[in-house]
């Protein structure tokens, strides 16, 4: 493993010194929007989550890479994050599940990393100042500063087009169910597909698929997936959903939650530093139960102005909307990740709710 001195320079001029690992871009510079994730394990699932397109992930857990990587934990075939930041990189992988090590995985997928960083200081800085564009690498500090100053954030960017599937494909049901589910891929995770497949055959289609094309597949329900970037920049998906609402049940997760809210007339706004981690408390207002949830989003929804919409979930840390339902249109969505890859499984009942909604609509 080749390790060289490297530097992080944020757009506000803040500098962190460390060491490079993983892929080495020819320019010696990696740019993106810096965010932090608080999971204690599950680094491979986080890195391979398409929702991180355009972002550089800072892991708050101090030791990353200790149990290696394996094919089962992949959330996408091609990880789309720009890079990762760690405090201490494990020198070896030790797990009976390991099929390789993290550094080789990053090199294989062209992802740069920087270690030896005071991630507590960096996380506090992002918490106090919000997600910040920046650059890191082995180039000179002046070159990195120039790159950081011009690095784009996620605001105003439609990154869904860069991660959605190019061709439709089918995931067979794992339960023998006769239900047909169309999943609109905005950056869908493999664990979501595994959960959906328990309730029917899943037809995964590109984000650009029209309502007419979706209905031609005769779905019992339509699922709208997670995805990266600014939801306000993805105008075509809410238009598609407006044409589907009232015709077929709809369930959305994360970006899908934001797309469904927009289709119903709601708005989205950017959080200061987002929610990224596996320990966020959410109250299900329909049962009054508190769930510990997995989350990964920079944007939230405001549905207060939408008629006939019930808020079903609230984040107990900041009271942001975590879920809503429109009963008359057989539609609901949540901002958190009930599939939890990685994270707790408290919210997996939501897939069962979707199945029950499809069955009621079919009867």
pLDDT at 304: 84
Q: What's the mean pLDDT in 133-140?
A: 98
The SS3 assignment for 228 reads coil
Does residue 351 register a pLDDT over 80? yes
CB 329 within 8 A of CB 245: yes
pLDDT range class, residue 1, cuts 50, 70, 90: low
Extents of the domains making up the chain = 5-150, 160-362
21/112 Cα distance (integer angstroms)? 6
362 pLDDT tier (thresholds 50, 70, 90): confident
Note the pLDDT tens digit of each residue in 103-135: 999 999 999 999 999 999 999 999 999 999 999
Instruction: Report residue 7 as tokens.
Output: 């530097």
Mean pLDDT of 220-239: 97
Q: Which CATH class is domain 160-362?
A: alpha beta
- pLDDT tens-digit readout, 162-188: 999 999 999 999 999 999 999 999 999
For the segment 257-278, what is each residue's pLDDT rounded down to a tens digit? Answer: 999 999 999 999 999 999 999 9
The model's confidence at residue 195, banded by pLDDT at 50, 70 and 90, is very high
3-state SS class at 30: strand
Average confidence (pLDDT) over 197-215: 98
Whether the Cβ atoms of residue 166 and residue 146 lie closer than 8 Å to each other: no
Average pLDDT, the chain: 96
Catalytic residues: 254, 337, 339
Pairing verdict, β 63-64 and 88-89: parallel
Q: Hey, which CATH number is domain 5-150, 3.30.1490.20, 3.90.1580.10, 1.10.3720.10, 3.50.30.20?
A: 3.50.30.20
Instruction: Count Cβ atoms within 10 A of the Cβ of residue 311 and give its class: 0-12 exposed, 13-18 middle, 19 or more buried.
Output: middle
Task: Give yes or no for a contact between 298 and 51, defined as CB atoms under 8 angstroms apart.
Answer: no
Average pLDDT, integer, range 345-360: 97
Residue 307 confidence (pLDDT) above 90: no
The vertex-62 CA angle with 140 and 27, nearest 5°, equals 20
- Whole-number Å distance between alpha carbons of 318 and 355: 30
Residue 232 token pair = 């306000």
What was the pLDDT predicted at 305? 80
Using alpha carbons only, give the angle 199, 321, 246 rounded to the nearest 5 degrees: 50
What digits encode the pLDDT tens for the residues 332-349?
Answer: 999 999 999 999 999 999
Q: Which two tokens stand for residue 181?
A: 């589910």
Q: What letters, b where the CB count within 10 A reaches 16 and e where it falls short, cover 133-172? A: bbbbbbbeeebbbebbeebebbeebbbbbebbbeeeeebe
CA distances from 59 to 40, 41, 338 (A): 9, 10, 21
pLDDT at 2 (0 to 100): 63
């Amino acid at each position: 493993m080749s390790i060289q001195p490297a530097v992080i320079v944020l757009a506000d001029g803040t500098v962190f010194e460390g060491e490079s690992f993983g892929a080495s871009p020819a320019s010696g510079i990696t740019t993106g929007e810096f965010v932090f994730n608080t999971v204690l394990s599950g680094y491979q699932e986080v890195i391979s989550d398409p929702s991180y397109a355009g972002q550089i992930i800072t892991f708050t857990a101090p030791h990353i890479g200790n149990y290696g990587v394996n094919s089962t934990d992949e959330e996408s075939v091609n990880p789309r994050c720009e890079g990762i930041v760690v405090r201490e990189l494990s020198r070896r992988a030790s797990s009976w599940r390991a099929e390789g090590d993290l550094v080789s995985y990053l090199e294989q997928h062209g992802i740069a990393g920087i270690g030896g960083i005071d991630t507590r200081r960096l996380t506090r800085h992002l918490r106090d100042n919000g997600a910040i564009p920046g650059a890191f690498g082995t180039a000179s500090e002046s070159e990195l500063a120039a790159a950081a100053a011009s690095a784009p954030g996620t605001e105003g960017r439609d990154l869904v087009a860069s991660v959605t599937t190019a061709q439709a494909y089918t995931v067979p049901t794992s339960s023998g169910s006769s239900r047909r589910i169309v999943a609109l891929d905005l950056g869908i995770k493999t664990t979501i597909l595994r959960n959906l497949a328990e309730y029917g055959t899943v037809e995964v289609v590109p984000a650009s698929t029209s309502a007419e094309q979706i209905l031609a597949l005769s779905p019992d329900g339509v699922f709208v997936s997670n995805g990266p970037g600014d939801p306000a920049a993805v105008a075509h998906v809410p238009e598609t959903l407006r044409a589907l609402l009232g015709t077929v049940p709809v369930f959305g997760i994360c970006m899908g939650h934001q797309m469904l809210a927009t289709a119903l007339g709601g708005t989205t706004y950017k959080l200061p530093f987002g929610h990224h981690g596996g320990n966020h408390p959410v109250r299900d207002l329909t049962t009054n139960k508190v769930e510990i949830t997995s989350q990964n989003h920079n944007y939230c929804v405001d549905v207060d102005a939408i008629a006939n919409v019930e808020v079903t979930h609230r984040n107990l840390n900041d009271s942001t909307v975590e879920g809503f339902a429109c009963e008359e249109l057989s539609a609901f969505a949540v901002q958190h990740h009930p599939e939890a890859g990685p994270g707790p499984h408290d919210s997996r009942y939501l897939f069962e709710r979707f199945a029950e909604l499809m069955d009621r609509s079919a009867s």
